Amino acid sequence: MPTRLNLDTLRRHAVARSLFTPTTLPKAIEKLGGFVQADPLRAPARAQDLTLRHRVKGYKAGDLERRYPRLDLQEDFFINYGFVTPQLRALMHPRTARRVWDKPRWKLADAVLAEVGRLGDAHPADVDAALGHGPVKNWFGGNSRLSTELLDGLHYRGRLDVARRDSGTRVYRLAPEWQAHPDPQAAMDAMADVLVQKYAPLPAGSLSTLISMLFNAAHQWQELRRPTFARAKERLAHARVDGTDWYWPADEDPTRGWRIPGQVRLLAPFDPVVWDRRRFELLWGWAYRFEAYTPAAKRVRGHYALPLLWRDQVIGWANASVKGGALKVDCGYVSGKAPREAGYKAALDEELQRLAEFLDVRR
């Protein structure tokens, strides 16, 4: 008898297609659509590392940053900030920005570009020391250096590349000149397909939200949002399940019997399996929220709670930290207690051992 398409099959599809057999770092990023979201918080490791550890053989915390200068990747903004392949980046540039710079601002920016060209690889402190632009108020009300703000803006506009990071600080170099894509609609369709490849299966509301977010990547084509959404719905596979329309790549079959190993996995808050909160609540029946920026007194699950996946069920969360060179993990459960299923305790212990090895610390 054919497998029935329901939330159970969609949930298995979501987990199995994203948590593929670990492979090389370049191949893993390609399978993730050519984009890995980044986040600067380290609790107990950065989000990009926590995402890649499940998908790259022998991955250690910090491997992406260490290998970055030798990888065919660039830091850039897609639907949010992260690491992108050249093929994906070429779909977005040259792009405009929401904030239009006037002539005086461009004069300052051109001076920054000239200084980066002179330095070759330019640390923001060196650019600021040469130009002496001084401090400015940033978008969240704090103080930053004008040179740093201009470097960020030039990077977003595709005029600068990130050559590497020095102690977490971006070091820039001039970017090659971009050739505009000859067919903007084809570029938007390709970027929409990247999102579906990364986050499917998607409820209709999430598909619409993601395509709207593409205009962070290609602000110059914002008038194409509606046709891009309509074209995506036409070419993707689709079904209505429990009153919600779901979409996924046309060459995939959610009912084909996806294998789910008996594993526990502690996922990054931005892991593709749990990234879309609307989908999360439909598939797992409870609300997960990222609380790092929530006042401590209002947190429900913790500063950097990692969703806890057992087989194909997200059953709780864990807060992990390293103290005195040893890993400390506290788990919480939606039901209020740990599962009593055979194999769970051993599977959790194996995951904590994998996490300790990834962090290079003691259990």
What pLDDT does residue 137 have?
A: 60
Please indicate, yes or no, if residue 119 is contained in any of the structural domains.
yes
Please indicate, yes or no, if residue 288 is contained in any of the structural domains.
yes
Please indicate, yes or no, if residue 251 is contained in any of the structural domains.
no
Q: Write down which residue in 174, 198, 226 finishes a domain.
A: 174
| Residue 17 token pair | 């297609």
Which candidate, 155, 172, 154, places its Cα nearest to that of 163? 172
Please indicate, yes or no, if residue 81 is contained in any of the structural domains.
no
| Residue 92 token pair | 């977005």
Please indicate, yes or no, if residue 336 is contained in any of the structural domains.
yes
What pLDDT does residue 145 have?
A: 83
Give me the long-range contacts of 302-305 (CB less than 8 A, separation at least 24): 302/330, 302/332, 303/43, 304/41, 304/43, 304/269, 305/269, 305/332
Q: Using alpha carbons only, how large is the chain's radius of gyration in Å?
A: 22
What pLDDT does residue 135 have?
A: 66
Q: Write down which residue in 141, 174, 207 finishes a domain.
A: 174
Q: Write down which residue in 158, 174, 190 finishes a domain.
A: 174
Which domain covers residue 111, as residue numbers? Answer: 103-174
Please indicate, yes or no, if residue 138 is contained in any of the structural domains.
yes
Please indicate, yes or no, if residue 74 is contained in any of the structural domains.
no
The angle at the Cα of 158, spanning 155 to 162, to the nearest 5 degrees, equals: 45
What pLDDT does residue 300 have?
A: 94
Please indicate, yes or no, if residue 10 is contained in any of the structural domains.
no
Inter-residue contact 238 to 245 (CB < 8 Å): yes
* Average pLDDT per 10 consecutive residues for the chain, totaling 363 residues: 82 97 98 97 96 98 96 97 97 94 96 97 95 66 79 97 95 96 97 97 98 94 96 97 97 91 96 98 97 94 97 98 95 96 96 98 92
pTM, two decimal places: 0.93
Q: Which residue has the tokens 């939330």?
A: 7
How many domains are contained in the chain?
2
- CATH code of the domain containing 149: 1.10.10
H, E, C per residue of 96-135 = CCCCCCCHHHHHHHHHHHHHHHHHCCECHHHHHHHHCCCE
How many angstroms separate the CA atoms of 137 and 3, rounded? 58
Helix-then-strand count for the chain, H and E: 13, 14
What pLDDT does residue 143 have?
A: 60
What pLDDT does residue 258 have?
A: 86
